[in-house]
Amino acid sequence: MKRHYWINIFCLILLVNLLNSCDDKLEKILDSKDLQIRQIIDNLDKHNLQIIYSEIIRNEDDKVSFKDYFFNVDDDLYYYPASTVKLHVSALTLQKLTELNDSGININLDSEIEIIIDNNTLHNQITFRELIKKIFIISDNEAYNILFDFLGKDYISRELNKKGFFNTHITHNFSTKEYNENIFYVFYNDGKEIYRTKSGSANLSVVRSKLKEEKTGKGYYFKGEIINSKFDFSNKNFISLKDLHSTTKQIIFRDNYKPNNKFNLSNSYYNFLIECMGLNTLSDSNYYEPKFWDSYVKFFMFGDSKKLIPKDIKIYNKVGLAYGHLTETAYITNKNKKIEFLLSATLKVNENEIYNDGIYEYDSIGIPFLSKLGKLIYQTYEN
């Protein structure tokens, strides 16, 4: 009995040491004395930093497994996901397109779309290819709104739940206008109408539970006036960082998942989604305007620079930035150096705790931190 007792104690110690070693790698990175890291780590209470980092391990048969590291992750702590919801809505749009194709309706990425509201044509001759590319190249809100309204809240919620994303609630678009149910989408191939459908249902019965700090701050601006009370996020979108990280992991490494737990995309639509996630704003597009640069929507590693991203480094990602919250989820790889890892992080930068005033420390604190975090993790593979 004593022998078994000490064997059990020894195994328990090994397990504890293993868990501690898992935590240590990320914590060692965050123990950097770099000012960009320290100004966040030394003030965690006001920045609500959460990080998930996954090492990618390939065996001799190239089968993938993961070693996950967590820092300060809290499923019950609210953060505003901003444009990261566009990743889910883009994937679900391609899933819906796959479903329509499977049912015999021949809509493709280049089918022209006409959007009619109250018998007036709002958009004409746009395509899913254009809309989804704009979402990943410049994080276009109007493109997201079109896809969100096409799918509808019910479809989005139902399909995300099917995939196990129970802490993901995408319930609104980014329009300031009231939702209009009288929206029709008409699809054309070579000028011939092939399909017509009404906008997705606006109903949604699922209500998320209350979260910590979903009402926060000292005040906010409304119609030009300061309101001296907490800003209320309780009716806004939410994605736990675990769900967000798992979404990227599931998309990039879909062969690791059972059919019911992944987006149902045809191979061509899946390849298109991956292609779009990896696009850089300048080198992969025609957006040669002063307000855009190559890393415009790539915060990890290159967010603090307006230079072109080196061609041997690919970042397949989605960022979000609004209300002082910055979030990114990404698969970062350099095939030449056999470097690859998954990284997701969110933090808040709102020193004056006032919302809607446009004063947030994105460029001075938030993006430099995310950029440095990505670099430090990347450098562990080079050393």
* Same-domain status, 58 and 20: no
What does the radius of gyration of the chain's CA atoms come to, in whole angstroms? 22
Reading the chain (383 residues) residue by residue, the pLDDT tens digits are: 555 555 555 444 444 444 444 457 899 999 999 999 999 999 999 999 999 999 999 999 999 999 999 999 999 999 999 999 999 999 999 999 999 999 999 999 999 999 998 778 877 789 999 999 999 999 999 999 999 999 999 999 999 999 999 999 999 999 866 656 678 999 999 999 999 998 876 666 667 889 999 999 999 999 999 999 999 999 999 999 999 999 999 999 999 999 888 999 999 999 999 999 999 999 999 887 788 999 999 999 999 999 999 999 999 999 999 999 999 999 999 999 999 999 999 999 999 999 999 999 999 999 999 999 999 999 999 97
* Same-domain status, 202 and 91: yes
- In this structure, the number of other CB atoms found within 10 A of the CB of residue 216 comes to 19
* Same-domain status, 172 and 268: yes
* Same-domain status, 3 and 37: no
* Confidence (pLDDT) at 287: 81
* Same-domain status, 6 and 134: no
* Same-domain status, 89 and 19: no
Domain range for 336 is: 32-382
| CB contact burial 101-131 (16+ within 10 A = b; e otherwise) | eeeeeebbbebbbbbbeeeeeeeeebbbeeb
DSSP secondary structure code for residue 187 in this structure:
E
114 within 8 A of 186, measured Cβ to Cβ = yes
* Same-domain status, 123 and 80: yes
* Same-domain status, 21 and 36: no
> How many domains, the chain?
2
* Confidence (pLDDT) at 12: 47
